[in-house]
Chains A and B, each alone.
Chain A
Amino acid sequence: MILRSEHIVKSFGRKKVLTDISFQLEAGTVTGIVGENGSGKSTLMEIIVGVRRAQNGTVQINGKLGYCPQRALLFPHLTVQEHFNYFSVAYGISKEPSKLRSTELLDHFNFAKYNQERIINLSGGTQQKLNLSISLLHKPDLLILDEPYNGFDWDTYQRFWDYTNHLRKQGCAVLIVTHLLSEKNRFDRIYELENGILV
């Protein structure tokens, strides 16, 4: 078991967003959480990764965590390669493995030609590729992706799923949060977040 969350409760003022959320993820699975806009999906992800505090409940993670936030959180004045370098240092990856890994991700998601470009000069789709690649840089055991394919073209969407399947085979637990679910067969399990409860 890679992730176990139990009895998570979260309110904003009087509005209860998450009522009593409990679920767990096994290694080598791809799980989806769907729900309408504003249903609390991103809040739940932020609680799991530790950005937000829940009023009640526990989250237990066994292994390295990779998190791709909904909005591309990047430094506008740094280049793509500088992002890989900066986040590699954060993850504790040394220079050579970091170089190999970033080259692999640049090639797989087809944005190597933008390697020396600053973020402010990139399209939203390319920024999202980097946003996703940063979360994959350290080969996580648990990957949490919040609306990961926003802005992706069809080719990148396919590459994304190729990579997700590759991660599944490697034993990574992948959790994808989305408001649109077009291909249910790609998931091992799908939860729906409705009125603060996972069903």
Chain B
Amino acid sequence: MTSNKIITGLAMILRMLVRQKIVIILIAIIPAFFLSVVEFTTSNRMLPFQLASVGDDVFINITEKGISFIFFAVASSGFLVSFLALNLIQKNSVVNRRLIICGYHPIQLLISILLALLLMIILIAVYVGLLTNAFYTIDHLGSFIFGLVLIGFVYGSYGLAIGSLIKGELEGILMIVLLVNIDVGWLQNPLFYAEAQNQIIIKFLPAYFPSQTAIITAITDYSSASATVYGIMYGSIFFIFSMLIFFNKMRTK
């Protein structure tokens, strides 16, 4: 019975997602738009930048266009997944509560939501990874896609936390846009990072480790294991936090 509830929940959530045209449009258009803008606006001049998670003295030479493709791939994945996570957890929370009154256990509902999110993270990561590879040849495509899954995990957990914590849709979107813009969209840009003061602050932001994983695997042969492990740990903290809030809100009295 539990598996039936989870599978039904997952099927219904996916139906709802697919039927929201804005979701499909965002997933299809945003990465393609970002990468096209990079293609038409950035130059091919070589730029050295510091690969922080490998070592302070490790500098990589890459074209401005190349690093911008990778950076925008990470940014668009982070934004899309956090928006989706917010949408999944927040939009139908009152109706979900009715399902719980009618017999769903919060865990069954939550597993359905998380499975739907996981499928969407993988879908977005594969799509963005392949799209990026079409613009710029990625050295280790499989690992790069895994890096995008990791940013999806971290920012998906962030979206879940915001969706569980904040009631208003607009406020939730604002919180996501703010952090994605500041963190993934600005501070994790390796060109900015190389010249930044107080780099330690940037290292504590959510997108740092996933961004490093994506960059390392996209253009070098260095190991991304350390950045990946820290990324998973970071995402797990957000994840546990969001689950605690979700259970507190969904339990019947």
Contact = CB atoms under 8 A, between A and B. Distances in A.
Interface of A: 47, 49-54, 65, 67, 69, 73-75, 77-78, 82, 85-87, 89-92, 118, 134, 138
B45 interface: no
B4 interface: yes
B37 interface: no
Contact of A90 (B5, B15, B92, B94): B5
B5 A89 contact: yes
A78 B5 CA distance: 17
A98 to B, nearest CB: 11
A77 B253 contact: no
Contacts of B12: 75, 78, 82, 86
Contacts of B102: 87, 90-91, 134, 138
B183 to A, nearest CB: 31
B253 A90 contact: no
Interface of B: 1, 4-5, 8-9, 12, 15-16, 19-20, 92, 94-95, 97-99, 101-104, 252-253
Max chain A Cβ within 10 angstroms of own Cβ: one of B5, B92, B99, B101 = B101
Q: Could you say which of A52, A54, A77, A91 has the most chain B C-beta atoms within 10 Å of its C-beta?
A: A77
Contact of B95 (A53, A65, A73): A73
B38 to A, nearest CB: 34
A134 B102 CA distance: 9
23 contacts: A47-B253, A49-B101, A50-B101, A50-B253, A51-B101, A52-B253, A67-B98, A69-B98, A73-B94, A73-B95, A75-B12, A75-B16, A75-B95, A77-B19, A86-B8, A86-B9, A86-B12, A86-B99, A90-B99, A91-B102, A91-B103, A118-B19, A138-B102
Given A67-B101, A75-B92, A91-B102, 16 more contacts: A51-B97, A54-B253, A73-B95, A73-B98, A77-B15, A77-B19, A77-B20, A78-B12, A78-B15, A78-B16, A82-B12, A86-B12, A89-B8, A90-B5, A90-B102, A90-B103
